[in-house]
Amino acid sequence: MKNPLKKSRIPDSKVFLVRELNAPFFDKNWHFHPEYQLVVILKGTGTRYIGDHIKPFKEGDMVMTGPNLPHVWRSDNAYFDPSNNLDTHLIVAYFPENFLGDGIFEKEEFADIARLMKLSSRGVEVNGKTNREVTEMMKKLVNLTGSAQLILLLEILNYLSHSKDIRQITNAGYINLNKESEKDRMGEVYEYVMKNYKEKIKLEEVASIANLSVSAFSRFFKSRANKSFSDFISDVRISHACKLLHEDDINVSEVCYESGFNTLSNFNKQFKDRIGKTPITYRKEYLESFE
């Protein structure tokens, strides 16, 4: 069986690293690293966690993250069953802040790219025409070598720095308070929720996974995720509901229960509170956008 995708460190002999990766599922480990990262999903679906933000992803998802911004593209549960014969495909580039030398982004010529890099501290989602154009550029990037590859990376960053098709992802107040030693603890909590969000999740069970008391876990989680654990579960469920609502062959009641909500009234209220519209309106607007 093939191994899941994992982040590759930049070799000392290289300025930056670009990889095209194929695997049954994306690396499910919640993590952060000191490099900037630009990734485009060419194949695969699931839920994307970046800082305090949760959103479903599919083919075409493109994001740039700054140093030490926690993230994971967690594949849908179906990808972890080999009998489904599913696979994933992405292109990712990693580069350090000083990949062109110390202090280079303080120079006038690099002011635009420097602003982009600052925006990426909260994660940047790339949409529209920019997404399509940069996707093609990244496909070319993986096939280049030497200075030609570096020049194209700079062209990509310059293109992004002037685009109107980008938006920041995490809330303005988000700060990563996670420690390197806590990656596994938070990762296990995220993984447990992703496997069990359709069922009733007891705080005591999750606190036990984190090896903390209930009160200590509640404080720990809120300080790291910038939201309470109950809000986190609701966000995961709403994210899954959004994904189901993109299809027109499942009714809203089924979406409600498939996403882990016990009552339709509670589902409708939480969905509108978080998305700003009812599930029916959300689906209608989404489907109309493709007509």
SS3 84: helix
CA neighbours closer than 13 Å in the CB half-sphere of residue 278: 8
CA neighbours closer than 13 Å in the CB half-sphere of residue 48: 25
Question: In this model, does residue 28 exceed pLDDT 90?
Answer: no
Q: What is the mean pLDDT of residues 265-277?
A: 94
CATH number of the domain bearing residue 159: 2.60.120.280
Residue 257 belongs to what domain range?
183-288
Q: Is residue 9 part of a domain?
A: no
Q: Is residue 271 part of a domain?
A: yes
Angle (CA) 46-127-108 rounded to 5° is 125
- In a shared domain, residues 23 and 52: yes
Q: Is residue 207 part of a domain?
A: yes
Q: Summarize pLDDT for 208-222 with one digit per residue, the tens.
A: 999 999 999 999 999
Contacts of 29 (CB under 8 A, 6+ apart): 6, 72, 183, 187
**Domain end residue (candidates: 118, 141, 168):** 168
Q: DSSP 3-state helix, strand, coil percentages of the chain (rounded to 5)?
A: 45, 15, 35
- With contact defined as beta carbons under 8 Å apart, do 266 and 279 qualify? no
The amino acid at 56? P
- With contact defined as beta carbons under 8 Å apart, do 125 and 65 qualify? no
How would residue 247 be classed by pLDDT, with cut points 50, 70 and 90?
A: confident
The amino acid at 157? L
- In a shared domain, residues 191 and 279: yes
Q: Is residue 1 part of a domain?
A: no
Helical residues (DSSP H) of the chain, grouped into ranges:
111-119, 128-141, 146-161, 183-196, 203-209, 214-225, 229-245, 252-258, 264-275, 279-288
Q: What percent of the chain has pLDDT over 70?
A: 97
Separation between Cα atoms, residue 137 and residue 113, nearest integer Å: 17
Q: What percent of the chain has pLDDT over 90?
A: 75
- In a shared domain, residues 161 and 188: no
CATH number of the domain bearing residue 210: 1.10.10.60
- In a shared domain, residues 91 and 154: yes
Of 178, 195, 172, nearest in space to 47 by CA:
195
Q: What is the mean pLDDT of residues 82-87?
A: 96
Q: Is residue 39 part of a domain?
A: yes
Helical pair 214-225 and 229-245, crossing angle rounded to 10 deg = 60
**Domain end residue (candidates: 168, 200, 232):** 168
What is the value of pTM for the model shown?
A: 0.85
Q: Summarize pLDDT for 150-202 with one digit per residue, the tens.
A: 999 999 999 999 999 999 999 988 888 877 777 788 889 988 998 999 999 99
- In a shared domain, residues 208 and 269: yes
User: Six-digit token pair at 204?
Assistant: 């005591």
- In a shared domain, residues 21 and 158: yes
SS3 279: helix
**Considering its fold, how many domains does the chain have in total?**
2
Q: If you average pLDDT over every residue of the chain, what do you get?
A: 91
Q: Is residue 174 part of a domain?
A: no
